[in-house]
Amino acid sequence: MDSKQPLRITRRRFMTSSAAVLAASSFAPETWASTGQAVASRGPFRVIVDTDPGVDDALALLLAMRSPELKIEAITPVAGNVPLELTLPNALRLVEIAGRTDIPVAAGAKAPLVRRLVTATYAHGENGLGGAVFPDPTTKPVAEPAAEYIRRVVRKYPHEVTLITLGPLTNVAAALNADPELAGLVRGLTMMGGSLSGGNITPAAEFNVYVDPEAARIVFQSGIPITMVGLDVTRKTSLTDEHVRVLEAAQNPVSQAAAKIGRNAINHNRERGFLVGPNMHDSLAVAAFLDPTILKWQEYYVDVETTGELTAGETLGYSPVAGDLKRRPGAEKEAGAASMSIRGSAPTLASTKTSPVVRDKYGPNTNVGVDVNSARFFELLIGRLAGK
């Protein structure tokens, strides 16, 4: 798939695919009053979890495996927070801890599409789990590579599989490159990644997108309806000592493992001088799929910077009702807003006379989380992990 190809998604398909999210995530104040206790009545939904465990990935995977709403068709580790040589056994450890060795684990990409791997061992520890040590896994991965496994499952269940991505998007982009029709068969993609309010590895870029911006651009331009849970909301999800104490008090393997990882991660943050515990970035993405009303949402056209020396991996959100482009509510449905073009950089003296146009007409491709009820999120996360 050419990462520069025009976006194929139609507004009708985007609205149909995301209707449930938009209905559930109304901006009305009463949205926040819901307890979320009825969430288990949703589903089951077929999902593939693509991940790079990773402290917050680990708790996110345990949450997913403890959630009856999800029919997890596969877990597909990818290089990211730590190399694949660690993310793969970490994923296998977690399925064993959760008693879910029925879930296939397929090894993914060892490196980004065109770049050298940048890891985050500074945040996740040398083993990816904050230094928490668990026995070596005895479960083996399936022989099929992750990209092929994703492609085969999506084709087996057309329009039924949602991709929940918690790491760099290399595996998903590789699957899309190998099968140009695949994007039209994916039900949707819920991602932890991106930011419209600055990065966490550079001032511009969020880590998952920074590691493989070319892969992210392929995904955002693929036409798959995307739900983006980025730093705009995940920065409000700091794990605390009290959360860990609740997990420690619960006597089950999942809560004990989550507490061990969480305690190590909090201590690691303190040693590095941070005032708060680690943010549960990836767990929020899983929780947002389980219960979209935990977040508030806004539609954007999102694209990824791939060439900037200082901004590679930055996610840019275009909207006719946001920022300096703000218009009155409802104006995005009018002809003026619909004709808003998405422009690239200004031309150089040696290039064309006009700025390149990425899209000639505005159309959203992403639901972006813009606010979060952190208390309700942790009620779901800690409650599920503790077995309550």
Query: Which pLDDT value is given to residue 271?
Result: 82
Residue extents of the structural domains in the chain: 11-319+364-386
State yes or no: cis peptide before 336, omega within 30 of 0: no
Query: Which pLDDT value is given to residue 329?
Result: 66
C-alpha–C-alpha distance, residues 303 and 182, integer Å: 20
Does the domain at residues 11-319+364-386 carry the CATH identifier 3.90.245.10?
yes
Q: What is the pLDDT of residues 43-70, one digit of tens each?
A: 799 999 999 998 999 999 999 999 999 9
C-alpha–C-alpha distance, residues 388 and 377, integer Å: 14
Query: Which pLDDT value is given to residue 333?
Result: 61
pLDDT of 176 higher than 80 = yes
pTM to 2 decimal places: 0.88
Closest CA to 64 of 176, 160, 162, 182: 162
Banded pLDDT at 253 (limits 50, 70, 90) = very high
**Which of the 8 DSSP states describes residue 236?**
T
What percent of the chain stands above pLDDT 90?
A: 70
State yes or no: cis peptide before 44, omega within 30 of 0: yes
Contact 332, 362 (CB under 8 A): yes
pLDDT of 281 higher than 80 = yes
C-alpha–C-alpha distance, residues 123 and 378, integer Å: 21
Tokens of 100: 């879910």
DSSP H helices, 301-350, are 335-338
Q: Which of 197-201, 299-303, 329-333, 341-345 has the lowest mean pLDDT?
A: 329-333
- Annotated catalytic residues are 281
More confidently predicted of 340 and 250: 250
